Amino acid sequence: MRGSILVLTGPSGAGKSTLIKEMVKDIGPYYFSISTTTRAPREGEKNGVDYFFVDKEAFQNDIAEELFLEYALVHGNYYGTSLRAVEEALAQGKLVIFDIDVQGHKSIKARLPDITTSVFITPPSFEALKQRLINRNTDSMEVIEKRLIMADEELTKIDEFDYVIVNDDLQKAIQEIKAVAQTAKLKKCPASLDALKTLWKGI
């Protein structure tokens, strides 16, 4: 049985990382997609764990060879998802999880609609997001302001997602994301459906 895809999108500061950490605890075999980027590593970020860090030339070569499932240029840096690792995980029947922006979601949904479930995770309000970004103390005010403007733009795209989770009550949000992940695994690609029909055929 081929695997499925779960795309999680939401502004930086929406609490995605916490939700994902809880979600994967009892979700069965999964592969968390690691993006490739040309941006500089932040303090504490490790190559092959947080991102694959590459230079611009290497990235542009891979674009030319169509080795990306999706890619985008954000704030002057490339971000993309290498196709090979995703296909491998799907072939192994794993749930492939993406933490990706609205542009990336659009590309994946367009390329693999049958097996993709997507969720937009949002803080309860703009003020709550601003406060979270200030409190976590990892970005300059200039970066925070850029993030807030981007969050506002992203929110206009929530209609494109299958589900929306408002991360207000954390325990409730954890329960919701777990249900969505389990449901995402029930998405069947056309080939699996054909197999089921063949298996079932009785008359």
Beta carbon of residue 54, minimum distance to a second copy (angstroms, whole number): 34
# residues near a second copy by CB under 8 A:
38
d(Cα 94, Cα 36) in Å, to the nearest integer? 20
Integer-rounded Cα radius of gyration of the chain: 18
Helices of type H across the chain: 16-23, 56-64, 83-91, 102-111, 126-136, 141-155, 170-184, 190-200
The 68-107 site mask, x for binding a second copy (CB under 8 A), equals ----------------------------------------
Amino acid present at 115 = I
d(Cα 58, Cα 35) in Å, to the nearest integer? 14
The 123-162 site mask, x for binding a second copy (CB under 8 A), equals --xxx-xx-----------------xx--x--xx-xx--x
Q: Which is nearer to a second copy, 89 or 165 (CB)?
A: 165
Check if the beta carbon of residue 31 is closer than 8 Å to that of residue 94: yes
Choice from 53, 83, 182, 195 touching a second copy (CB under 8 A): 182
Which residues bind to a second copy, rule: CB under 8 A? 119, 122, 125-127, 129-130, 148-149, 152, 155-156, 158-159, 162-166, 175-176, 178-180, 182-183, 186-188, 190, 193, 196-197, 199-203
